[in-house]
């Protein structure tokens, strides 16, 4: 599942994932308030989550997802960097943090659960 408020980027990410024979994007959203319901409805394995979304804190959502859907992995995909920000995401329960400026293969590896 892709959660990204930038429609163009969301589309590019969906195409990137669709081009992978072992991955499938089953849901997309631009809003935080849709995530819990959509992730349950589609039995999502991985949520690719932008950090700056309208509605509420994405970091708080990570904790809720982990609590309600413990087998669902959360990959933070953000333009923000810095070790403190990354540590906050991981402490909230994210499985990985990938920079939007990073290599698409790094993102795909994080989605697959392969850490560098």
pLDDT, tens only, 67-83: 999 999 999 998 876 67
Its pTM stands at 0.91
Tell me if 98 sits within 8 A of 110, measured CB to CB.
Answer: yes
Residue 42 half-sphere exposure, CB side, CA atoms within 13 Å? 19
Q: Which of 61, 9, 10, 52 is nearest to 33 (CA)?
A: 61
DSSP, collapsed to helix, strand or coil, labels residue 79 as coil
User: What's the rounded Cα separation, in Å, for the pair 55 and 3?
Assistant: 13
User: What's the rounded Cα separation, in Å, for the pair 12 and 2?
Assistant: 11
Tens of pLDDT, residue by residue over 4-48, are 999 999 999 999 999 999 999 999 999 888 889 999 999 999 999
Neighbours of 88 (CB within 10 A): 17
Query: Quick one: pLDDT at residue 55?
Result: 66
């Amino acid at each position: 599942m892709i959660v990204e408020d930038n429609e163009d980027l969301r589309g590019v990410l969906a195409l990137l994932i669709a081009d992978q024979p072992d991955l499938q994007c089953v849901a997309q959203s631009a809003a935080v308030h849709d995530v819990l319901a959509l992730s349950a409805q589609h039995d999502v394995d991985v949520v690719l989550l932008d950090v700056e979304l309208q509605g509420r804190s994405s970091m708080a959502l990570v904790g809720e997802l982990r609590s309600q859907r413990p087998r669902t992995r959360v990959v933070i995909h953000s333009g923000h960097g810095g070790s403190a920000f990354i540590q906050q995401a991981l402490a909230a329960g994210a499985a990985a943090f990938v920079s939007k400026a990073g290599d698409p293969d790094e993102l795909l590896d994080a989605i697959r659960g392969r850490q560098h």
